[in-house]
Chain A
């Protein structure tokens, strides 16, 4: 069905994708499907080996659950302990349709909010399944001893979050991700003690091994010794998180990267909607050019904090110059711009809307702080209404963190915040089973593209990671394995392993041999600035075409002028980063191409050419209600586009409005 005629951007079109969504009514699909899928006999499960890459919420929960079922699991992480995966940094909470607050929540409502919040670019069936299993996640985590916040009566406490009108977010102070991850990590370590999981720390996946078209192994670099290792298995689960570090500055951990996913992409896994990235509105602003990362503060802060800037540019300039402080401004001189523009949702509009509005007021010259690239998040009114103690109970650790980083006390002076790259909705394309276009290769959690459409709602990342790992993959991976003959995990003699190992080794040797003049950090910063300027919060055809010329040039510089010290057979962080940057350079180009191709605005993807009179994202449903899944062809700039057309049978597509 391949269509040889390239489109107007000279993009080649491939065959449309099938997503294997089961038949039947939306709310019965998953249950019916589970009753019909293949199951491996308990005595045979121990003959299979599953390789899990990454040990965040998705990876640790999948590793634990698969091992509990009887499969042998090998789990790999780049950190020195699986507990340090970046899920640990999620602050605000996890959504679940428990309706404990009796405020009318339901599986349907969570499903609907997620589809709408994603600006109608997610798959209905996946999102409904996510909402369905959300209730089981909370039960599971409580049974594990995750210390969620509770009321005096001993029952679980909830809070509201952006993009929802009900209170369905469960939380553990401002460290929800940490507590959920430690629960999943504990469950996995229990299986280590029982001999069902082997954990390999300080290991980075550098290639996928395919035998007869199926994923049957991985090539891993031991970051402590530099050795290249081979592991054979019956299925590979990529739980490697998102690619926000393509922007260099993001709220991701410094070691978060796209390499494992990208190398699978090069082996044939399609990459979907790469331009769907999320900019988080409540981050601590950049302070200087030495900045290595950005720190997010949970958007739960917007529950009680009010966002504002001075009404006039003149007053903002005085603040920028340090002549007056925010507390010198009278109430009538402040513009609570979210409350003004969105009276229904106010400060709780979704992340993309909040971020863009912050950018607009800064563009008008009304931003605050030395750089003028910040808005205020003010708790004065909440402190007056609730008392300092209540505010401290809710946000104490976030306030402390802010004070440590900026040296300012947010109980007395409003916080300064600015948007930063935080999450990537795009990722490897997966079908309903979470299987990529390579049989036996799965992508879970942020690494896949599936559930959040063009914009993720707050407190839904943790939900998705754990849904995929605890409740979806254990079924769907079993269904695949039931049709596969188990491999011998000790045998990596197949030619495909050698070929992949040689490729990895060659690339490492090449990186070390360039001996140019630029450091990895310099080149990564350069890429990051380009991505932020042209493929960031808002995009134009002109800017995207410009950056599509600049990225290949930067890639040239990278491969000809990089300077690395040290050798490959030792701990060498710069070498690790160089390999990751090589992949970010390719990905960055694909993101720009995807953004250029998608001639509409939706969720986090804002094309300036497509907006309503109010400046809201304007979708083009007739032309773009599809998932763009890109196939690698050997040339980073010339991928083939495959479409998965999105069918909306249960919700009506409307212009998102949070007014």
Chain B
């Protein structure tokens, strides 16, 4: 495959409160074996050589599991390839001469820190409200004492595979965090270990999700479409059932 010459339109924003704007850059001779972030590395190396400030974007593992990276590429969270986080997107998905727009996750709950870097602290605050089982270290009984059918274990795993990247929020027209929250709720709903706290968990996590300023889910399904780990929207249906049952059982939507 031949190398690519590309035009990049990138959101630059110097600080959280400063206004941002799209800036245009050209990059030449990009190998199709490069990852998307390596392509941005190449741009940044050039910018520094020219005495210009590099484009800031966040990343860490660059193997699709830490959930740090996340760019809206040509209007799609994580770009054109299904089931792929930005760091694992490779340039073979693009054509010579392409114009590529690159923006940060946009949601009220995720303020921009600089350029393409956003603050996703809201997700941690939601998890703090119930994304666990309340078991102190040393309290556990033998791991094989409670059998869990393979089907349930697999369903729990499928939900637990969420990497917390927040592409679901970025893709949702309402900036809803329902897919993220429901994945955590579902993981524990499928496991006996999660049962003692199931009502409390869903009520508190949903309450915190609302408090953080995320929108409501109105079944667009964009979240599932962009999720790099294929988290199913059926988790949202499960979360709703869990929430209704919990609200009815406890007599209040808020505990």
Contacts and interface: CB of A to CB of B under 8 A. Distances in A.
Contact of B114 (A61, A140, A571): A571
A223 to B, nearest CB: 9
B113 interface: yes
A471 B38 CA distance: 40
Nearest to A155: B144
Given A186-B131, A193-B129, A570-B15, A154 B150 contact: yes
B75 interface: no
Contact of B132 (A189, A251, A519): A189
B104 interface: no
A288 B33 contact: yes
B98 interface: no
Contacts of B33: 287-288, 407
A68 B66 contact: no
Interface string A249-280: 00101110000000000000000000000000
Contacts of B54: 565-566, 573-574
A309 B199 CA distance: 56
Contacts of B53: 565-566
B60 A201 contact: no
A225 B193 CA distance: 41
Given A144-B133, A185-B127, A521 B121 contact: no
A138 B143 CA distance: 6
A150 B150 contact: yes
Interface in B71-126: 81, 83-84, 88, 90, 92, 113-114, 117, 119-121, 123-124
A126 interface: no
A404 B143 contact: no
Contacts of A3: none
Given A150-B150, A193-B128, A144 B193 contact: yes
A636 to B, nearest CB: 27
B22 interface: no
A404 B164 contact: no
Given A81-B123, A139-B142, A290-B41, A86 B66 contact: yes
B62 interface: yes
Contacts of B157: 147, 149, 172-173, 179
A571 B51 CA distance: 18
B48 interface: yes
Q: By DSSP majority rule, is chain B's interface helix, strand, loop, or mixed?
A: loop
B90 A570 contact: no
A201 B113 CA distance: 13
Interface string B30-42: 0101110110011
Contacts of A474: 137
B144 A100 contact: yes
B106 to A, nearest CB: 16
A80 interface: yes
B48 A519 contact: yes
Interface string B1-30: 000000000000011000000000000000
B219 interface: no
Contact of B61 (A80, A88, A400): A88
How many B residues touch the partner, as a band? 35 or more
A178 B163 CA distance: 8
A563 interface: yes
A80 B137 contact: no
A142 B153 contact: no
A354 interface: no
A186 B67 CA distance: 16
Interface stretch (A291-299, A430-438, A504-512, A548-556): A291-299
A474 B138 CA distance: 11
B244 interface: no
Nearest to A291: B38
B139 interface: yes
B232 to A, nearest CB: 15
A147 B83 contact: no
B49 interface: yes
A503 to B, nearest CB: 26
Contacts of B225: none
Interface residues of A, number: 83
B254 to A, nearest CB: 16
Given A175-B65, A193-B129, A68 B34 contact: no
B205 to A, nearest CB: 11
A89 B66 contact: yes
A201 B48 contact: no
A145 B193 contact: yes
A188 to B, nearest CB: 9
A80 B58 contact: yes
A569 to B, nearest CB: 10
B187 interface: yes
Contacts of B149: 150, 152, 154
A379 interface: no
A601 interface: no
B213 interface: no
Contact of A407 (B56, B92, B138, B187): B92
B33 to A, nearest CB: 4
Counting chain A CB atoms within 10 Å of each CB, the highest count among B42, B129, B157 belongs to B157
A614 interface: no
A94 to B, nearest CB: 11
B45 A142 contact: no
A89 B127 contact: no
B122 to A, nearest CB: 10
B49 A144 contact: no
A72 interface: no
B246 interface: no
A150 B147 CA distance: 9
Interface string A385-421: 0000000000000001100110100000000000000
Given A183-B132, A292-B35, A404-B90, 6 more contacts: A145-B156, A152-B149, A189-B132, A199-B124, A254-B61, A290-B34
30 contacts: A65-B136, A80-B121, A82-B124, A83-B127, A86-B66, A88-B65, A89-B61, A139-B141, A139-B143, A142-B143, A143-B139, A143-B141, A145-B187, A145-B191, A147-B156, A148-B153, A150-B149, A152-B149, A179-B160, A190-B134, A192-B124, A224-B113, A292-B37, A404-B81, A404-B84, A407-B33, A519-B45, A522-B45, A566-B54, A574-B54
4 closest A-B pairs by beta carbon, nearest first, are A154-B147, A186-B132, A143-B140, A139-B140
